[in-house]
Amino acid sequence: MASKHSSERLIQQLQHQGINNAMVLEVLRTTPRHLFIDEALSSHAYTNHALPIGYGQTISQPYIVARMTEALLEQGNLDKVLEIGTGCGYQTAILAQLVPQVYSVERIKNLLTKAHDRLTSLGLDNIHFHYSDGHWGWAENAPYQGIIVTAAPASVPEALLEQLAVGGYLIIPVGAQNSYQVLLKIIRTRRNHYEQYTLDEVSFVPLCQGIS
């Protein structure tokens, strides 16, 4: 019951912050965020804050998860989405309840294994996992109508632009850690043409290269 009340308070906060998509709000309301963090942090599960998940990574602030997901859904034709940075699997779980197929890439093996087990236990069977460097995307399954990136590169990886379908949306934070970062929406309007919009100032962990 405490989790339910805390979840409702969180949803009210998100609405006050401008999240309007009813489907996004409902999925955040019903997804058990406490299952994606360590038990020691469970009392903070439904606060509007990022929390550590180990390996120098975090579970994103619920507002940012909602903001990025809402922006992605504006594309309106999402059969297949690529997520860069599975992490604990929370953003993955939100996407998997809103789009038919989610392809998720993670560079840290232990995080990927835990996320896979957690999401499988929740019955989310439309997620495809890949252990790889997120800068490379997942070319074998491209193009994607939507791509969402949950860590910040210094600049937009070329591979992600190439793997975006014409008409597709890329939602990505860009900028150095502990420096100015912005959340971008990039639309591939034609084969060799992209439009870019700034959505928010943000603070993300860096999108690192290599695997571990």
Of residues 15, 46, 14, the one with CA closest to residue 33: 46
- CA dihedral of residues 122, 128, 134, 137 (deg, nearest 10): -150
- CB atoms under 10 Å from CB of 15, counted, come to 12
Cα(103)–Cα(138) distance, integer angstroms: 8
60 is known as an active-site residue = yes
Q: Catalytic one among 60, 155, 203, 212? A: 60
Catalytic (active-site) positions: 60
